[in-house]
Amino acid sequence: MKRYIINIPICLAGAFLVIASCKKMDDYKKHAAGGEIIYPSTFDSLKVIPGRNRAMVTGILKSDPRVAKYRIFWNSGSDSLEAPFVRSGGVDTMKQIVPNLPEGPITFTVRTYDSKGNKSIPMIATGNVYGQSFQTSVNQRGNRVVLKTSFAADGSATINWANVDAYVGVLGMQIHYTNGDNVVRDTIVPAQLVDQQTVIPNVGIKNLLSYNTLYLPEKVGIDTFTVTKKELPAFTEVILLNSVKPVANSANDGSRWATLRDWITNPAAKNHNGYGGTDNSSDARIYFEAGWGASAIQNGKIHQIVTLPPGKYKFEGSVDWYHRGSRNDVYLVAMPGTNGLPDVNNVNTAFASAKLESGWWWWDTTFEVTQKTTFSMGLLLYMDDDGEATRLNSIRLYIVN
């Protein structure tokens, strides 16, 4: 318990001119009896946390259970705010919002009071208040720059942000979107100053994403400042993995043939001694070949698992080389579920499919999804062993809303 007891000196005219030490004491005598003045304890660690046309005054009271209230003064004492202070018996914290303040530096004087009206010695705390002038500077800074956005096969969106300097004061970005289940959502992403990439799961494509940047004038504050929302460009493609030349392989025979990375490949498609789907060249493509010493491919399949929100899509293949002997049937297929693609004889059970016709340099199937659906999407092949080849530059899934 902190108690300050001061013996009032008897001020005598004489050799010791101690009368000067008695100045302003009259202000306290009205709380004392018998010549003693009792000061309630004051707050420790008094701070001013800035806000928008307001501030929060904080402090810690470690002792003195008799403190019953406090009063905060500002504007040279012309304005004040009073509030009760309930003690817990331990260490207590004051967090008092002071509203309706002008922008600029500010000084507060804080006193505590006991139930008898005794008041503490004054404590001073200074800080800043922010308002329209800071908002104007935030408007000039604008929203953080977005370098790139993409939509992934798992139904998530990725945002790549431009780097930003610490002095700019970016606290984070608030992102607004409709998810794949048609529910409006928003999320706040704390700022990372360098190389920041944000992944948002379960994003819809029918409504544009938007965002606004949040600014904080100091490292700690009770209010953030922001700017007008900015819309992100519409998504135009679902990014499939390893689907555009040059493609990568997960394993190869050390010579020519290899197996595609990131694709689920069935044994029938690996007709080159356990490898198949691409070759081992420096500019490798999705590539299947039967004949010329290789066995036939009967119901060869490669696919990826793709989760699509409601919308319209175009599944497209781009052909680099196609050679037909007696049979070279190649299909783009979208099949609901995660169990892969049907056999060629059952391709009509697929949600969407398209057969590559001889001589075409690209082909596609367009379909619409009315509710969030997971698909197996890929390539279905039936190739005889008398000189068949299909080599693709890409397999891509476009959004055509």
Name the residue ranges covered by the structural domains of the chain.
Answer: 4-129, 141-235, 249-399
CB atoms within 10 A of CB 396: 18
pLDDT in tens, 368-387: 999 999 999 999 999 999 99
Non-local (6+) Cβ contacts of 124 within 8 A are: 46, 107, 108, 109, 110
Contact 243, 378 (CB under 8 A): no
Contact 226, 213 (CB under 8 A): yes
Q: pLDDT value at position 32?
A: 46
pLDDT at 15 > cutoff 80:
no
Q: pLDDT value at position 218?
A: 95
Among residues 397, 390, 319, which one has the least CA distance to residue 361?
A: 319
Peptide linkage before 246 cis (omega within 30 of 0)? yes
pLDDT in tens, 242-268: 999 999 999 999 999 999 999 999 999
Contact 130, 103 (CB under 8 A): yes
CATH superfamily of 4-129: Immunoglobulins (2.60.40.10)
> Rounded to whole angstroms, how far apart are CA atoms 89 and 86?
9
> Rounded to whole angstroms, how far apart are CA atoms 227 and 229?
6
CB atoms within 10 A of CB 279: 22
> Rounded to whole angstroms, how far apart are CA atoms 344 and 358?
17
CB atoms within 10 A of CB 84: 9
Overall average pLDDT of the 330-348 stretch:
98
DSSP 8-state secondary structure symbol assigned to residue 330: E
pLDDT at 19 > cutoff 50:
no
Domain 4-129 and domain 141-235, same fold? Reply is yes
Residue with token string 């704390």: 190
pLDDT at 308 > cutoff 90:
yes
Q: In percent, how much of the chain has pLDDT > 70? A: 91
CA distances (Å), origin 342, targets 156, 248, 293, 349: 27, 25, 27, 8
pLDDT band at residue 27 under the 50/70/90 scheme: very low
CA atoms within 13 A of residue 50's CA, in its CB half-sphere = 21
Overall average pLDDT of the 140-162 stretch:
97
Burial of 111: CB neighbours in 10 Å, binned 0-12, 13-18, 19+? buried
> Rounded to whole angstroms, how far apart are CA atoms 289 and 388?
6
Looking at 29-38, 86-95, 110-119, 339-348, which range is the least confident one? 29-38
Among residues 268, 334, 348, which one has the least CA distance to residue 304?
A: 334
Q: What tokens does 296 get?
A: 């036939």
Q: pLDDT value at position 208?
A: 96
Position 237: which residue type?
E
Q: What tokens does 142 get?
A: 């604008």
pLDDT at 228 > cutoff 50:
yes
Q: What architecture does CATH give domain 141-235?
A: Sandwich (2.60)
Regarding predicted confidence, which is higher, 25 or 143? 143
> Rounded to whole angstroms, how far apart are CA atoms 115 and 337?
72
Among residues 157, 163, 228, 229, which one has the least CA distance to residue 191?
A: 163
Overall average pLDDT of the 25-37 stretch:
48
Three-state DSSP class for residue 305: strand
Among residues 266, 255, 327, which one has the least CA distance to residue 296?
A: 327
CA distances (Å), origin 331, targets 220, 258, 299, 303, 355: 59, 21, 10, 12, 4
Regarding predicted confidence, which is higher, 363 or 7? 363
Looking at 84-93, 120-129, 156-165, 285-294, which range is the least confident one? 84-93
CA 97 to chain CA mean position, Å: 29
CB atoms within 10 A of CB 270: 18
Regarding predicted confidence, which is higher, 39 or 337? 337
> Rounded to whole angstroms, how far apart are CA atoms 158 and 79?
50
Report the phi/psi class of residue 182: left, alpha or beta, with left for phi > 0 and alpha for psi in -120 to 50: left
Q: pLDDT value at position 17?
A: 29
pLDDT at 24 > cutoff 90:
no
**Is the domain 249-399 a CATH 2.60.120 member?**
yes
Mean model confidence pLDDT for the chain: 91
